[in-house]
Structure 1
Amino acid sequence: MRESLFIKKNLSRWKQYQEEPTDDPDEMAERFVSVLDDLSYAKTFYSFSKVTRYINGLAAGIYQRIYQHRKEDVGRFQLFFRYELPLLFRKYHRLLLFTLCFFLLFCIIGAFSSAHDETFVRGVLGDEYVNMTERNIANNDPFGVYKGGNPLLMFLWIAKNNIQVSFLCFVGGIFLGVGTLYLLIRNGVMLGVFQYIFFSHGLGIKSILVIWIHGTLEISSIVIAGCAGIMLGNSLLFPGTRPRLDSLRKGAKDGIKIMVTLMPILTVAAFLEGFVTRYTEMPLLLSILILLVSLTFILGYFIFYPIYLHRKGYSLSTTGKVIIPFTRSKQQP
């Protein structure tokens, strides 16, 4: 179709949309779809024409009107945790999977090395800690280390240490990701060695039921912080079409959002370690319940919920704003 004929055929409708705006959601949706069809056709056959720019502006106007009249049912705080953060994780799910696999690899390496070299355990955890753990096992109190000290002081110290380790995992990404990978290796090996001690004494299941009461949130947070650190390193190494400094700023901004979210999770993990894990003989069902709640939260919020939002059509714009899919409202009787 010739451009003049295309304009003549649709001009009256375009002017109507422009001069007679509507507040009816269904009508706005129909107009928006219609204008998008026109825009698609114009871009295909008249890419550099003024009419293409005109239709694009018309579509943008209808789009803004749709979201201007859309009721905002959540505040900024809710918007961040309900949509923005989960969608951010959806964007980096592959990187999170890589971080998890990398961490687990060195957990396995730590356990394997411990099984084939007795000195490796002491080299990683230190003689003092290993001797104390072996004394506790001999005294039928293998997890006695969690019972000592004032619970409040223990909680505060652990919270500080957990936050510090996670923060270093993130900041280490500025060194092209090397610092983050080093800390993931170190913590992964330590975890593998630590678990091996109890499995080698036939206390593997018991250690999971006790240690992972707090360990589920704590270790998950370290892995997530590692993902944030690698994001930071990738933004510097692979800026794509952005200037390197802008890419670094974007990576740092996304990483900081993740780190802010980890603070309360690490605090809860420290609370569990300081006040709950010390009850090593708690009922089995209670221990399993705490483990399942922690694991369900981690998998639900960071894995499955982001996938759900993505499939529903929610997404993030290039500026990090949440794009909420438009749904037509039902006609009122």
Structure 2
Amino acid sequence: MREVAFIKQNKEKWLSFEKAIFNNDFKDADELASQYIHVINDLAYAQTYYPKSKVITYLNQLAAKAYQKIYKTKAEDTNRIIRFWKTEVPLICYQYRKFIYVAFIIFFAFTFVGAISAANDGEFVRSILGDDYVNMSLENIEAGDPVAVYKSGSNWGSFIGITINNLKVGIIAFVLGVFLGIGTLYIMFKNCVMLGSFQYFFYEKGVLWESVRGIWIHGSMEIFAIVIEAAAGLILGASILFPATHSRYTSFKLGAKTGIKILISTFPFTFCAGFLEGFITRYSNIMPHWLSVGIILSTLGCISYYYLIYPFKIQKQITKSPQTTNASFEII
């Protein structure tokens, strides 16, 4: 983006923020902190793309004034974590929303490949899941409990083991993005094909609904989180492939920082999914249908809202500002 376009795009927002700072025109400190983060992001962008521009001086001064206001009203150590999930991550997700959309398209495509492959090759499921797992699942189906595998082990043991495994998968999906995103695509392909073939296997045996009631109690958050983690890996890969006007190393550092923030944001959902799998899924076959469906829809709705809807609300809240004069913008 050219500097003139960058200034034109953000000018009114900066002026409105400056006016609000001088007039103490903020509803609360959180609103001030949210807009401060946005200015810091613009400053970082300007420092990268327009290193000799006067806009850097202006934004530095604006950020410094905002910083003073923030730390007069609230302590960083008690609110930083809250702001991270409340404002910073949603803004990042908004900025990189196309990567999230692409990750979901890839997820559905690879899962469809797994289901179609299982439908057209009777041995495909065994080649993906292994004979032992398929035979065990067949025995469970015959016994009337298709998802009995989730009842093995203790509650806490299952919760800890499952959570560690899911965290590992997500971290690997992100880190392998360093290989130009190809590593991330491999992890997605491997897991999505397995998911598609696994679900088709239950469909073929006539117990798809029973499997959905069990698997997706925890799977809604677990799978969704992995897709978001894959999006972070794609961002990392894109930062290397498409550095724009950055040096490739600088672009990589920015991509890694952004990706890590997105990755960390998924951890609470991964812990939640592990808890559900360890403590709740094992009772799916005896709980009422409305309860299992309610858990699935509520968990899916919660994580979907945070990553797909809430970012738009935060972005709209931050960019919405009244018109003001251009007098203080003369420095640019």
Q: Deviations over 1:62-102 (max 9, x none)?
A: 78657754775682222111110000001111111111111
**Which residue of 280, 286, 291 maps to 2:291?**
286
- The code of the aligned residue for 2:302 comes to F
Structure with greater Cα Rg: 1
Does residue 121 of structure 2 align to residue 123 of structure 1?
no
Secondary structure, in 3 states, of the residue corresponding to 1:310? helix
Work out whether 1:83 is the aligned partner of 2:87.
yes
TM-superposed CA distance for 1:262, in Å, is: 1.6
Question: Residues 58 and 311 of structure 1: is their aligned pair in 2 closer, same or farther, counting only changes over 3 Å?
Answer: closer
**Percent of aligned pairs sharing the same letter:** 41
Deviations 1:240-268 (A, max 9, x none): 11111011011111111111122221111
Change over 3 Å in CA distance of 1:119–1:242 after alignment to 2: same
Question: Deviation of residue 291 (structure 1)?
Answer: 1.1
Q: 2: distance between equivalents of 1:171 and 1:295?
A: 25
If each structure's helix is expressed as a fraction of its own residues, which one has the higher value? 2
The 5-angstrom pairing of residues 54-133 of structure 1 reads: 65=65, 68-69=68-69, 75-133=79-137
Counterparts of 1:1-16 in structure 2, within 5 Å, are none
Q: In 2 relative to 1, CA 209–58 (structure 1 residues): closer, same or farther, beyond 3 Å?
A: closer
AA of the residue aligned to 1:192: G
Cα distance in 2 for partners of 1:276, 1:110 equals 27
2:250 is matched with 246
Q: TM-score, normalised by structure 1?
A: 0.75
The amino acid across from 1:85 in the alignment is V
Amino acid at match of 2:216: W
Structure 1 residue 205, shift from structure 2 partner: 2.2
Task: Between the two structures, name the one with larger relative contact order (CA 8 Å, sep ≥ 6).
Answer: 2
Matches of 1:78 and 1:129, distance apart in 2 = 42
Aligned-residue offset at 1:206 = 2.3
Q: Which one-letter code corresponds to 1:97 in the other structure?
A: Y
Verify the 8 A CA contact 1:86 1:306 in the aligned structure 2.
yes
Determine the structure 2 residue equivalent to 1:41: none
Shift in alpha-carbon separation, 1:78–1:112, aligned structure 2, 3 A: same
Deviations 1:122-177 (A, max 9, x none): 00000000000011111111111111111211111111111111111001101111
Shift of the 175–59 alpha-carbon distance from structure 1 to 2, 3 Å rule, reads closer
Corresponding residue number in structure 2 for 1:38: none
Report how many residues are paired.
272
Corresponding position: 1:228 with 2:227? no
Residue 276 (structure 2) pairs with residue 304 (structure 1): no
Paired residues of 1:209 and 1:287 also in contact (CA < 8 A): yes
TM-score under structure 2 length normalisation:
0.75
Give the 5 Å matches for 1:157-168.
157-168=161-172
The 1:243/1:129 distance shift into structure 2, 3 A limit, reads same
Paired position in structure 1 for 2:212:
208
CA separation in 1, counterparts of 2:189 and 2:59?
A: 51
In structure 2, list runs of 5 or more residues that go unmatched.
1-20, 26-53, 325-332
- On the 8 A contact 1:25/1:66 being kept in 2, the answer is no
